[in-house]
């Protein structure tokens, strides 16, 4: 514990003391409490709204083409950091959403997860026809070489995962992009509401602490005269012993 100009300290298991080793005066203790009180008053009242850095929101949005679920989670962090997880290979979309979150939110470690269900057929899968043809030819060659039936079907080809690739052509659809942006915006609004709610709870706790601290200051102020009289009496008795 350090007060005015660093001269007032508290050692473990001991009383508040000053650098010369003597007990700190009641006035110094009261001044120390007043400084803490003033600091928290500035923190509580000079800002219109206190916000917590922790919060969670979840939005589910359904349109004609897609069903979108957005989850936003905010944790304590000194600075602002944002991570976005969405449909595989949609790096451009993730970059734009991350930039939007960085511009909108302040402080905290933000994690954004977006899940997209397509309600109709969209260009989300690209087929490597050349590679599929190579697999079919290879299977046919095996069939002839070992004199076994060739039962190649689309089910057989579907087992070769490298034949199919995810594509982000669907992300160029203006309706889908608008729906994603709308869902993310709603999630941000809900997250900020929760952070404000948590911040107000913290504010009420701090206000109770301030009231309690002010009570201690009043009690300490009441002890000033008693301490002066006590010290004078001790000095008077000590001087009598000297003489």
Please name each of the domains of the chain with its CATH number.
4-49+214-242 (no CATH), 55-124+170-201 (3.30.230.70), 128-164 (no CATH)
pLDDT confidence tier of residue 1, bands split at 50, 70 and 90: very low
CA neighbor of 135 nearest in space, from 117, 160, 110, 112: 160
CA neighbor of 105 nearest in space, from 80, 71, 83, 79: 80
Q: Hey, which residues does 55 pair with through a beta bridge?
A: 74
pLDDT tens-digit map of 133-152: 999 999 899 988 988 888 88
Residue 178: how many other CB atoms lie within 10 Å: 11
pLDDT tens-digit map of 183-233: 999 999 999 888 888 888 887 887 788 788 778 777 777 777 777 777 778
pTM above 0.75, yes or no: no
Q: How far apart are CA 199 and CA 208, in angstroms?
A: 14
């Amino acid at each position: 514990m350090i007060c005015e100009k660093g001269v007032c300290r508290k050692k473990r298991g001991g009383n508040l003391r000053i650098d010369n080793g003597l007990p700190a005066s009641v006035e110094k203790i009261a001044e120390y409490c007043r400084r803490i009180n003033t600091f928290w008053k500035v923190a509580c009242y000079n800002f219109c709204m206190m916000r917590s850095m922790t919060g969670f929101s979840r939005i589910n949005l359904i349109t004609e083409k897609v069903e979108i679920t957005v989850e936003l989670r905010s944790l304590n962090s000194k600075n602002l950091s944002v991570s976005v997880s969405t449909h595989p290979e949609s790096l451009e979309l993730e970059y734009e959403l991350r930039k939007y979150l960085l511009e909108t939110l302040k402080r905290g470690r933000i994690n954004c997860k977006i899940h997209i269900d397509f309600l109709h057929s969209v260009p989300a899968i690209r087929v490597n026809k050349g590679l599929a043809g190579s697999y079919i030819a290879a299977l046919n060659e095996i069939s002839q070489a070992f004199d076994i039936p060739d039962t190649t079907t689309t089910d057989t080809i579907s087992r070769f995962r490298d034949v199919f690739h995810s594509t982000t052509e669907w992300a160029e659809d203006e309706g889908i992009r608008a729906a994603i942006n709308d869902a993310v915006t709603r999630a941000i609004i809900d997250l900020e509401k929760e952070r404000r709610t948590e911040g107000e709870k913290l504010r009420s706790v701090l206000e109770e602490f301030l009231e309690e601290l002010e009570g201690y200051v009043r009690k300490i102020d009441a002890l000033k005269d008693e301490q002066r009289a006590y010290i004078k009496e001790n000095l008077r008795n000590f001087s009598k012993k000297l003489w």
